[in-house]
């Protein structure tokens, strides 16, 4: 719960707003984890499709990072507080890091596809919570974030298909 100094006024019911904020903080942690993994793979991709994969992963990382501020600000607008550190992200993330020195490009794309689909699942759950809380703004934003994650998963799927 936010201290008095950080308690942003809202008409949302306290417990419902807290539940939505908790879900959004989990999504925020996963977004940071997914951003860093996507950049890691962008930096370390190799092989005959290097340029295409390198550019696609950079575009996707940029999109993921851009959403993080919107997520955190939405949590604050509901009268709650958000993540504060790398350690806080690590405590909340469900997307697993990949610290391997080498990952084959096809495995990179597959792993990122699965991670984006996992994010979609979390977004759908958060949307249900936002709808129950009558938090229309969060619900509408989640629609956009879901569409973006689904698009990333689709691109990763298509790029990894064997011809």
Residue 104 is assigned to a structural domain of this protein: yes
Specify whether the CB–CB gap between 155 and 56 falls below 8 A.
yes
Residue 116 is assigned to a structural domain of this protein: yes
Residue 8 is assigned to a structural domain of this protein: no
The structure's pTM equals: 0.93
Q: In this predicted model, what pLDDT tens digit does every residue of 48-102 receive, in sequence order?
A: 999 999 999 999 999 999 999 999 999 999 999 999 999 999 999 999 999 999 9
Q: In this predicted model, what pLDDT tens digit does every residue of 110-161 receive, in sequence order?
A: 999 999 999 999 999 999 999 999 999 999 999 999 999 999 999 999 999 8
Domain that holds residue 154: 13-160
Residue 145 is assigned to a structural domain of this protein: yes
Number of compact structural domains in the chain: 1
Residue 67 is assigned to a structural domain of this protein: yes
Residue 139's CATH number: 1.20.1260.10
Residue 85 is assigned to a structural domain of this protein: yes
Residue among 120, 116, 114, 112 nearest 44 (CA): 112
Residue 3 is predicted with a pLDDT of 64
Residue 51 is assigned to a structural domain of this protein: yes
Q: Which residues contact 56 (CB under 8 A, 6 or more apart)?
A: 155, 156, 159
């Amino acid at each position: 719960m936010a201290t008095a100094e950080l308690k942003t006024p809202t008409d949302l019911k306290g417990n419902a707003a807290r539940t939505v904020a908790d879900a959004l903080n989990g999504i925020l942690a996963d977004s940071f984890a997914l951003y860093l993994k996507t950049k890691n793979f962008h930096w370390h991709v190799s092989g005959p499709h290097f340029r295409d994969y390198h550019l696609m992963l950079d575009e996707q990382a940029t999109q993921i990072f851009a959403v993080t501020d919107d997520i955190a600000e939405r949590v604050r607008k509901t009268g709650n507080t958000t993540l504060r550190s790398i350690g806080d992200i690590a405590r909340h993330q469900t997307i697993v890091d990949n610290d391997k020195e080498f990952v084959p490009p096809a495995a990179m794309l597959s792993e990122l596809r699965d991670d984006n689909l996992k994010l979609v699942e979390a977004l759908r759950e958060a949307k249900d919570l936002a709808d129950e809380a009558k938090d229309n703004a969060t619900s509408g934003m989640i629609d956009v974030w879901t569409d973006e994650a689904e698009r990333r998963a689709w691109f990763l799927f298509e790029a990894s298909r064997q011809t």
